[in-house]
Structure 1
């Protein structure tokens, strides 16, 4: 039986990961929680029977204690990953770390190096790698069913409603407080592309802007909040009342308010961040971005991230020397078109749970990894750091307008760190 502690009892921590222990109590048990929000801390403690003396208001309180258990899950906000992760490694814990590892590229490198130095497991929550849909795609590519892969078109359709919730009103709206969009949302994509293609990215270029969710695009008659008598609220596709004023007990409404009553939801919309007009928030992350990549095996990638989609899913076309593979994740379809004229459609097995069952499978594999003392696993810190650096390089390219040589970029980062330490 693995004993665990949760640092950061947000929606992902509680419902995506810790819930695994309620389904598999013979495999893992949560015996401690650190969370500043009393409502969320108490909810996790009640569900898992955690006594008061093992409930902490901060990660510092928990990690200042001698090692309490085998593993910690770190599911705090982006800028609160690095310090608790480094402290947990020092204390001797194995770690499941929510992505991104850090919004700072050097901290990302340091985490990977420290986990290796201390012989500790640090698995990063790139949940898509655990999804049966993408693992099936990986098997097809490795089997060379379309020959040698040459070109990839990959699209992250964020969805207009998901973008407005998470990246305009929500926790990841402002890169000064969290991470750039390409890192926070699309480090999954960079990770999967690196994994699926099977080579190392060598060059990156990128363009992107925050073009729409800005004050100058606010409709006439709109107000600071959707509940302030907005003249266009009924017609607005981003209306907080439409999206959150209901009694659903999961998903995005749960992020707005844990209490699934109309009274509580209305209060949250009137007073909290999720009731703001999407054109009058303090957001600064891009709402559309493109990234071009070339790998050392000569595979080229055209990646698009966009808020302006009705669907919230990934779609792709992978082109090889003997055929092409088209994919639509939400439809659970992988379509293979061979140059011979043969066509095949595969629908992989799915598991219950978030991200097509990938949240559950991530926890299942992490528990097995800890039990077997497998330091590598599917998404080790070392592998994840490399894909994070692709995202960092893409953002650097977007800001500077330069094409980035990835290895040179990494060496520049390390030289800068050495110079800073010598100053």
Structure 2
């Protein structure tokens, strides 16, 4: 592309951006909050699985919100998303930096942002820089979990959000499913007395773990983070929520990478590096052919196959991905290093306790199994229904909360709809949490990982205080 053509395209986009921002301005009051009756406008940064999941609400409830701009580098994914949401071509960007620059220009020349809020659905290591950039411009933000991949970055994000005074949502979708909302209501009602102990298990699923945490974006800690953070930070979050107002006091954790490593490779596989060439592929539960190619051959083009190619998967694109990309590699020859099983024990400030297990080797896929033990009863649940037993009345009742649709048992829909309402009304409390509480649950996850690595009991208050002192000392240098 010539310099002249590039310059022309920039100014065309710039002028169109100003036009759209100007048109949107009438729907915004002086504080940039959408007027009552107008849909909340959204920018989506990262149009993959999570970006698409949250954005579906704009399609089903266009009176509540609409997507007006996106940033997505993959051509087919970008084109499909823009077409689905009917986004003006001048507001379709390849990178978040380009979108941010266009936003800065509209703020400077028109005095309004491109939209009310931003959905941050990029890779974990990018969460901090994207959130900081758009918080500074005054956008309300819904950030996919986790906040960030280091303690210091989480602290910086909290500070930036507080400074900006924006509505902030976190992708802790478990809080927002009808199932967990119904559980939370009973727990906090005191119906069964005081909550004393919870036993909670996250069955990741054998092929799900192989997809996401061995071959996928979250398999290597240096490229992302440890698996307790990337997979289970929202489990720790909701456990803390259930025991609130008590807070985590002490935490211990154990776990390791036991199976997905070279020493566990079947002898019959020999030196084979890829599933499509493996002589024992047919007997392997982690065969990439079974996980991706066979389902597509039978017409199933959804998860997980849809996540490994750009655009709608077909036999040709999946085969190419398995022949050349990380998803076709033998799970025993990948560069993964995160735990495939981990237990976390938490003692809260009131003496109550939690035992949490994350494990890869299950047939269930993320269908949490939980037992709640109260002073006067118990609850046993499986993410679809739960049974409440009252010791005093000697009664048991089964609850079947209605899933209104969407992933994570309706949690995706529950989160985005709550976020949109919070932005519309300018009320953080609608989300049931704030950035400070979100930070504290993340710090509990970091504390658990510290315990696992060092083999010690971690005092949560001391751990938080040391983390804050460390970043304060860095900021004053």
**TM-score class, shorter:** over 0.9
Measured after TM superposition, the shift of residue 422 of structure 1 is: 4.0
What's the counterpart of residue 271 of structure 1?
Answer: 324
Task: For residues 36-64 of structure 1, give each alpha carbon's deviation from its aligned partner in whole angstroms, at most 9, with x where no partner exists.
Answer: 22222112111112222211111111112
SS at match of 2:368: strand
Measured after TM superposition, the shift of residue 399 of structure 1 is: 0.8
What's the counterpart of residue 214 of structure 1?
Answer: 261
- State yes or no: 1:32 paired with 2:32: no
What's the counterpart of residue 46 of structure 1?
Answer: 83
- State yes or no: 1:226 paired with 2:264: no
- Give the Cα–Cα distance (whole angstroms) in 1 for the partners of residues 470 and 264 of structure 2: 40
- Give the Cα–Cα distance (whole angstroms) in 1 for the partners of residues 428 and 398 of structure 2: 36
Deviation larger for 118-127 or 254-263: 254-263
Q: Which has the larger radius of gyration?
A: 2
Give the alignment's TM-score, normalised by structure 1. Answer: 0.96
Deviation larger for 50-59 or 185-194: 50-59
Contact 2:214 2:334 in 1 (8 A): yes
Task: For residues 145-166 of structure 1, give each alpha carbon's deviation from its aligned partner in whole angstroms, at most 9, with x where no partner exists.
Answer: 3221111111111111110110
What's the counterpart of residue 125 of structure 1?
Answer: 171
- State yes or no: 1:241 paired with 2:319: no
SS at match of 1:33: strand
Contact 1:113 1:382 in 2 (8 A): no
Measured after TM superposition, the shift of residue 320 of structure 1 is: 1.2
Measured after TM superposition, the shift of residue 102 of structure 1 is: 0.3
Unaligned segments of structure 2, at least 5 residues: 1-38, 105-112
- Give the Cα–Cα distance (whole angstroms) in 2 for the partners of residues 270 and 276 of structure 1: 8
- Give the Cα–Cα distance (whole angstroms) in 2 for the partners of residues 362 and 250 of structure 1: 22
What are the equivalent positions in structure 2 for 1:333-372 lying under 5 Å apart?
A: 333-340=385-392, 341-372=394-425
Deviation larger for 213-222 or 264-273: 264-273
Deviation larger for 259-268 or 121-130: 259-268
Contact 1:351 1:358 in 2 (8 A): no
Measured after TM superposition, the shift of residue 418 of structure 1 is: 2.8
What's the counterpart of residue 336 of structure 2?
Answer: 283
Contact 2:155 2:468 in 1 (8 A): no
- State yes or no: 1:55 paired with 2:92: yes
Deviation larger for 217-226 or 256-265: 256-265
What are the equivalent positions in structure 2 for 1:157-236 lying under 5 Å apart?
A: 157-198=203-244, 199-222=246-269, 223-228=272-277, 230-236=278-284
Measured after TM superposition, the shift of residue 421 of structure 1 is: 3.4
Contact 1:226 1:233 in 2 (8 A): yes
Task: For residues 185-243 of structure 1, give each alpha carbon's deviation from its aligned partner in whole angstroms, at most 9, with x where no partner exists.
Answer: 11111110011111211111111100110011010222211111x12111111111111
- Give the Cα–Cα distance (whole angstroms) in 2 for the partners of residues 277 and 261 of structure 1: 21
What's the counterpart of residue 199 of structure 2?
Answer: 153
Unaligned segments of structure 1, at least 5 residues: none
Measured after TM superposition, the shift of residue 322 of structure 1 is: 1.1
Measured after TM superposition, the shift of residue 339 of structure 1 is: 2.9
Contact 2:69 2:92 in 1 (8 A): yes
- Give the Cα–Cα distance (whole angstroms) in 1 for the partners of residues 371 and 306 of structure 2: 34
Contact 2:178 2:401 in 1 (8 A): yes
Question: Which residue of the other structure, out of 418, 436, 452, is the alignment partner of 1:382?
Answer: 436
How much is the aligned-residue C-alpha RMSD, in angstroms? 1.3
- State yes or no: 1:324 paired with 2:373: no
What's the counterpart of residue 143 of structure 1?
Answer: 189
- Give the Cα–Cα distance (whole angstroms) in 1 for the partners of residues 208 and 147 of structure 2: 22
Contact 1:259 1:265 in 2 (8 A): no
- Give the Cα–Cα distance (whole angstroms) in 2 for the partners of residues 361 and 146 of structure 1: 26
Task: For residues 76-134 of structure 1, give each alpha carbon's deviation from its aligned partner in whole angstroms, at most 9, with x where no partner exists.
Answer: 00000001101101111000110101011122122222212221011111111110101
What's the counterpart of residue 413 of structure 1?
Answer: 467
Contact 1:289 1:304 in 2 (8 A): yes
What's the counterpart of residue 72 of structure 1?
Answer: 118
Contact 1:128 1:358 in 2 (8 A): yes
- Give the Cα–Cα distance (whole angstroms) in 2 for the partners of residues 410 and 233 of structure 1: 47
What are the equivalent positions in structure 2 for 1:93-108 lying under 5 Å apart?
A: 93-108=139-154
